[in-house]
Amino acid sequence: MMRLDKYLADMGKGTRQEVKKYIRKGLVTVDGVAVCSPEYKVEPGMEILLDGAPVAYAAQEYYMLYKPAGVVSATEDKRETTVLDLIRDKKRKDLFPVGRLDKDTEGLLLITNDGELAHRLLSPKRHVDKVYYARVDGLVTEATKQAFLEGVNIGSREEPLRTMPARLEILRTGQEGGRPVSHVRLTIREGKFHQVKRMFRSQGMEVLYLKREVMGPLALDESLQPGAYRPLTEEEIKRLKEQ
């Protein structure tokens, strides 16, 4: 059981003060009866309408988002479009991105309000696989693969920061626009700041395009276009929680 005003606020229908005004104006009904007390106790399963529109309760929500370039991985930003701005039909107001992708990076991003799951996926102790497709300015070779497998220093000479072993797959290399360009797939098991870009930079190369394809057991749905999203399936949620 929870207060009616908390129920409505949790479902993103306004701040606690705003929804209290709606309730006191008689705009809210519970099981067909108008309720004017914000303290009225309700629970999931009751029919709750706000100005005639149903307000269904969701304790937890899980969305797979194809993050496009140009959008920031934040819950709010006064100047930039955030990943949460893209989730238009969310019920809850406490959603957040699990981890982050750089503004210019595309790909898979999990949006949820499940803090326990987020902690498990991001914990350095769990070493969850993250797979990226990258287009790199430079010639990636077998020597690059071996260096990544052994771990590379993405810090400085004075303050070294060595990465964990990473798997690098060379998809193709060749000349593009008069310069050598490599298309690769990289699997890392950690998430240091700008890690993929810094790994290639340590080898004298720059990442031109970066897209995250996989996080743990969750793979980006190929039917999604940049900026699109969908709720996770029950099976996907189950696999994530077993991670």
CA 106 to chain CA centroid, Å, is 11
Parallel, antiparallel, or unpaired for β 179-188 and 130-137?
A: antiparallel
Cα–Cα distance, 69 to 158 (Å, whole number): 34
CA 131 to chain CA centroid, Å, is 14
CA atoms within 13 A on the CB side of 241: 12
> Can 102 be counted among the known catalytic residues?
yes
In the block, which residue shows the tokens 């220093």? Answer: 153
In the set 77, 85, 102, 129, the catalytic residue is: 102
In the block, which residue shows the tokens 């949790």? Answer: 10
Cα–Cα distance, 240 to 243 (Å, whole number): 5
Give SS3 for 144: helix
Pick from 189, 218, 73: nearest CA to 124 = 189
Angle between helices 115-122 and 234-241 (to 10 degrees): 60
In the block, which residue shows the tokens 């304790």? Answer: 59
How many residues would you count in the chain?
243
Parallel, antiparallel, or unpaired for β 229-231 and 167-176?
A: unpaired
Catalytic residues: 102
